[in-house]
Amino acid sequence: MKRKSTLYVLIACLMISLLASACSSSTKQAASNDPGTSDEKVKLVVWIWETAKDGLDLNMDAFKAKYPNIEIEFQTMKSTDLYSKYLITSSTEDEVPDIVAVESTNLSQIVQIDSLLDITSRVEPYKDKMSAYKWEDATRDGKIYAMPWDSGPVVMFYRNDLFAQAGLPTDPEEVAKKIQTWDDYYEAAKLVKEKTGAFMYGDSKTNSSSRMFESMLWQRGLWYFDDQGKVAVDSPEVKESADFLIKMQKDGLVFDARANTDQWGNGIRDGKIATVVGGSWHDAIIENQYSPSDKGKWSVTMMPKWSKDDTYTGANQGGANLAINKNSKHPEEAWDFIEFMLGNEESQVKMMTGAGLFPALMVNDDASMEETSAYFNNQAIRKVYAQSLANTYPLAYTSDFPMANKLMTDVWAKVFLNNVSSEQALKEMANELRSKTKRN
């Protein structure tokens, strides 16, 4: 009864948070023979969202050639629906799905409900080949329950035509020198607004996704919780970052639209947004979804830092993972699939170049890293992503991230709708987090 009640609480919390916040051989534990080459036909069911499936699709022909007796059935759904459905499924010990895709933002929460297969020994050959921070949320009590897939190294995409009109440099290295800190970013924003009428970035005052804020914190090694797991959102350092973004909004330097919505995308299309400080996967969103006609107008450089002396120059935003349902009847075949897709450099490179999924697996020596993008002003943008990833503080999202993210949206609403001070709003959030999570 205790396990079931805990599950119901987790389900309720997850549903609330999801409504407000919207990505070479194995060490086998069992059979000595490769099940993929046996005569037995096996079907694996994979729960996944559509854009993630697009990446796996690029490798399916190669996978079928190696494992002709393993059939893959993808069942696609929105990630929000996937998590709520899987939480319910896990409580009834269903055997389906065999494999589940999980965004890093929700991974720790899924790991905590004890529904995933322990794959600690299987991932051992890959521990040092993946970005260190990607293992944090996949781990519970020293055991690993998911294989990292892609990362979301944060960089600054910028419109070089708007920068030029504002009298700012346009070469990526020169931009990185000019805009080293967030104070530099603020001064550049004023020039952009004055000279072009455009806004520096886009985000909603009262319904922020908080992704920009979280990237600022991550780069500094700050989070909603400290290294001891205590609530830290009311710390002076966190308040500093919040106050900076509040100043940007109050000074009219921000396009008022929640990031990654159509309204925000229309601002990009119409040349009203000069920068996007976000995960590497924004390149496909900008190029293919919202601004396909702006070839050559965008470039990429490192995100700003709080201080020039800060150690870390990057941050993370999103990313995904694959895990095995511990009730699956085919755990070995499921691992064969995951290892082929995520532990194989060729597979990961294909998903990076064909679907924009920058891998957690380090592929810095691959020739594709040097490829230039015609859309992004003939720049080798993946080298910038790799630089960000290599210089990212090893933080974990934690199981309470979805709740914290939702409560942070409430902080912005209090500030801009009710004129509550940031200090008071963050203190109220911290107290609510302590009460709901039982953290100190």
Do β-strands 99-103 and 320-324 pair in parallel, antiparallel, or remain unpaired? antiparallel
Predicted local distance difference test score (pLDDT) of residue 236: 96
Q: What is the pLDDT of residues 155-201, one digit of tens each?
A: 999 999 999 999 999 999 999 999 999 999 999 999 999 999 999 99
Alpha-carbon distance 223 to 231, whole Å? 9
Predicted local distance difference test score (pLDDT) of residue 103: 94
Predicted local distance difference test score (pLDDT) of residue 318: 87
Nearest residue to 427 via CA among 288, 301, 247, 242: 242
Spans of the chain below 70 pLDDT:
1-39
Tell me the DSSP string of 85-126: HHHHHHHTT----SEEEEEHHHHHHHHTTT-B---HHHHGGG
Predicted local distance difference test score (pLDDT) of residue 23: 41
Residues 6 or more apart whose Cβ sits within 8 Å of residue 103: 23, 79, 318, 319, 320, 321
Predicted local distance difference test score (pLDDT) of residue 356: 87
Q: How far is CA 393 from the centre of its chain?
A: 14
pTM for this predicted structure? 0.84
Residue 289: DSSP 8-state: I
What phi and psi values does residue 73 have, to the nearest 5 degrees?
-110, 110
Top-level CATH class of 159-315+398-437? alpha beta
Give me the residue spans of the domains in the chain.
2-152+317-363, 159-315+398-437
Q: What is the dihedral of CA 158, 380, 345, 114, to 10 degrees?
A: -10
Predicted local distance difference test score (pLDDT) of residue 90: 85
Q: Is 413 exposed, middle or buried (0-12, 13-18, 19+ CB in 10 A)?
A: middle
- Rounded to the nearest 5 degrees, what angle is found at the Cα of 308, between the Cα atoms of 305 and 309? 110
Predicted local distance difference test score (pLDDT) of residue 364: 83
Q: What is the pLDDT of residues 261-280, one digit of tens each?
A: 999 999 999 999 999 999 99
Q: Does domain 2-152+317-363 bear CATH number 3.30.470.30?
A: no
Question: Are the C-beta atoms of 439 and 229 separated by less than 8 Å?
Answer: yes
Alpha-carbon distance 110 to 102, whole Å? 8
Q: How many CB atoms lie within 10 A of CB 408?
A: 25
Residue 304: DSSP 8-state: P
